[in-house]
Chain A
Amino acid sequence: MFPELGQIALILALLLAVLLSVVPLVGSLTGREQLQAFARPLASGMFVFIAMAFGLLVHAFLTDDFSVAYVANNSNSLLPWFYKFSAVWGGHEGSLLLWILLLSAWTLAVAIFSRRLPAVMISQVLSVMGMICVGFLLFIILTSNPFDRLLPNIPADGADLNPLLQDIGLIMHPPMLYMGYVGFSVAFAFAIAALINGRLDAAWARWSRPWTTVAWAFLSVGIALGSWWAYYELGWGGWWFWDPVENASLLPWLAGTALMHSLAVTEKRGVFKTWTVLLAIIAFSLSLLGTFMVRSGVLTSVHAFASDPERGTFLLMLLAVTVIASLTLYAFRAPVVHVRSRYGSLGREIFLLLNNVLLVSATLLVGIGTLYPLVLDYLDMGKLSIGEPFFNTTFTPLAIATGLLLGAGIFSRWKKTDGGWLGRKLLWPLAISVIVTTAVVIGYGGFKPWAFAGIFTAVWVAVATFWDLSDKSRSRKGRLNGLKRQSRSYWGMVLGHLGLAMTIAGVTVVSNYGIERDVRMSPGDVATVGDYQFAFRAMGQRQGQNYTSQYGTFDVMKGGERIAVLHPEKREYSVGMRIMTEADIDAGLSRDIFVAIGEHIADGAWAIRLQYKPLIRWLWLGAVVMAIGGFFAISDRRYRIRDRAEETAATGTSPGKPLKGNAEAVS
């Protein structure tokens, strides 16, 4: 009976979502406050019913209710309970329900945390969120019902969760990623509401900023988790494949990063409005596009869910309605700006504009690379994949340019920066960065142009960030006091940029100085990779809860000393007979040592993959630091006490603050 209740809960949620998307909006357009007042209760009610449906699906998994088709296809009674739990989002239907749960949670959060917003605005924002919910609830109820039953022939046991997904990384990755994807719906809803009532002003930008930042922080962590998982679980040590689905998550991230920066300009200076609102629409549209690409089967990918034309068509219609409606609204309502450039040469506005140009170029580039094969196929010019070389050669220069610009932009001032002053300011950071980079490159054993460029970019960003921090925290009452006086949003920017520097450093070093060797080894053999020796001691067998495993024992030695014992495995899962390679990794901040077993070749000899991965952890830690920065930024006081400042914010200056303090966070 529980699954039927779940279905009823979804239908009730749909009814509430329909009401939410109509009633408050009508109220706001006709000026009837009693209708606007429905927005918050409807948002709460919708969340409650969706949460109930989700809870009932979780219950079905934990109690092994194999009469539910989705449970039977994605779980098994042998699974440990936490994998049964995470199996809820291990397939299309359940992960879609998670998507909707998070969407309704964001809607609820907007309802709760925007008490200070004008009622008209909030009712329109919640209505737009309600419309998105209607679309996805219809999608799940009509095409992807997770509560469908297998009656009367109930399977004795489930088909098991794909072993690739039986992993901590996969418990965390989808919820984080979806938090990011779905989070951009809030910035989108604010943009639509602002377009409807023509209030594209600094206050709108200020309301949108924290929501965008949180979504972006979640998305950063989600992408990093996915990359980390691919690294240790897919078994060959790659951490980014430019796979269409990875790209699908990178696209909204790039657009979201551009949006965060552009919102800063719109809030502080009241310019770029037309552009910012377009970015808000694009960031969410790209999230939807990502969802579409994963679930429609139009692209080949390790992530793709079973392709189903019906679902693909439905999602595309949803995407089309959202994008066409919002862009049409945009085309008619966005302000046509005729400002004479109020931002003089080298003002911070210019730097952020260039930042946006670069980020949007990167978005376009990744988008084209991802969709180009589809376009070719459409034109009947054959199927092909655009490989890593395309992305690596085109994306890298853009990333480097963005970093170099960032280092200079940190020192710039709003409106106008004196060129000579900026040049002198940059001299020392430049000198330090060159020296540090040279030392690092030599330390890693050789000059390579791209390695130098990448490491220089990372060091440059970090040095400039610290330099600026040291400038700002200079205080008569001592350094510590000066540091304390910095606003949270400034700290957010510092962490965001340092995180980026870490990620760039990690990516550059591991790509240029990492070593991987594929060797044939029998027990007793020793192979050398860089400074490390790998001694293959033996193969053994063991029994896991739902698999049997053959595992190797490797001693890793450096300079004659044993530094680690690694046990890479090949697992055979008892249900479905799937074979999985489990690499073993000796992880460290400065390097990872990675061993994976491939095929059994003959006579006890195995194909073995040995890898030395310097600084690889930094690329994920960088994302975590960026996300922490995001949370710092939104905890800034000015988002709480701000009613007073609301009107004055539109003019771009806050009263009673010295100019220096005003140079707070741009990220």
Chain B
Amino acid sequence: MNRSPQKRSFRPNIRPLPAWAMRDLLRRPMETFFLILVLSLIITVSATALLLTEALSTTAQRILADAPSLVVRKVGPGGWQPILAGPAVSSALAVPGVTEARPRLWGVVNGPDGPATVVGADSQMHRLASASAIRRLPEKGEAVAGSGIQAESDGKLNLIGTVPMAFTVIDTFSSQADITAHDIVLLHPDDARHILGLPQGYASDLAVYVYHAEEEAAILPDLSTAFDAPVRITTRSQTSGYYSAAFSRRGGIAFLSIGSTLFSMLLIVWFVTRERTGRRHEIGLLKSLGWTTGNIVSLQLYRALLIGLPAAALGVLISYGLVFAPGVKWPGYLLFGWETSGPALYLDPGGAIIILLELTALVLLPFIAAVLFPALRHAAAAPFDLIESGHP
């Protein structure tokens, strides 16, 4: 009977092998569910470690984008020394390419709960004040503290540098600035100089700015010979590289430390999938019904993808929530030992692609290979041998 095209009912174009693979998985729903669950867990654990380190690295890069192009520190036989601010600024500005040179006051003192970084608030700090959502810069005897610095109940903060001093905390840095301002105490420049033991006219170091990032390395030889005393100069790209390397290596450590767990979980997955592909009599029956070796292997591949892709999506989604959801503490505590909520983190599209590539390479591909390898072996066997092996 011929039907007109108008009356023909709609039939979705379903490719038979993926549909068969899906039906095969649904025949054992609990097994499929647990396989997806275990694989999701593996991906969640690895993705959390990788996402956290990548996000830290990206956040550090964003913060360093506002850092000075170069930092000049005077060095002597005993280590770094205070630099005479006025002549140092003149010497730096005499180098072609330098657009700005600013002396900075900072150093480490003893706080109530351990070391604290004291920073002298000069006139240029207004930008920091607005970025960190603090109302005003501190006057003499006042301080603005990071969230890691706990003042007394009466709002007093006792710090011990070259002399012990007490300050009134007038404000705290917002949690958004925690990654840089966690242990910072912002003081009036005179107070900072006093507690750090810096004589009048001296600074801790010199922040130097250039117009193009490419000039940072280019002016290094001129800048290093511009000062009377020996100096150590650090460029922004060096600092940025240092943080990037440090965070990524932490990621490596985290990944390796959980590697043994991952490996054992992967072994379970491999065992289960091998068990499934090891149902030799089924393969034998399919082959005797006319399925080719390629069909058998493709079926196993589709089964692996139907398990692996949803598990990967679920795992990445959970880990994204764990790293970026506000208020979640335990990944930071487990991986980095943070006792409070982590700082606000960022992830750029390039970083996200890198994480996805790493997860694909480290978890998804080994899983698919674990399915494919035994499938290749079994698919090559003769149908009769396969059927016989299933019925001893």
Do these two chains really belong together in a complex?
no
Which residues on A are within 8 Å of B, measured CB to CB? none
Which residues on B are within 8 Å of A, measured CB to CB? none
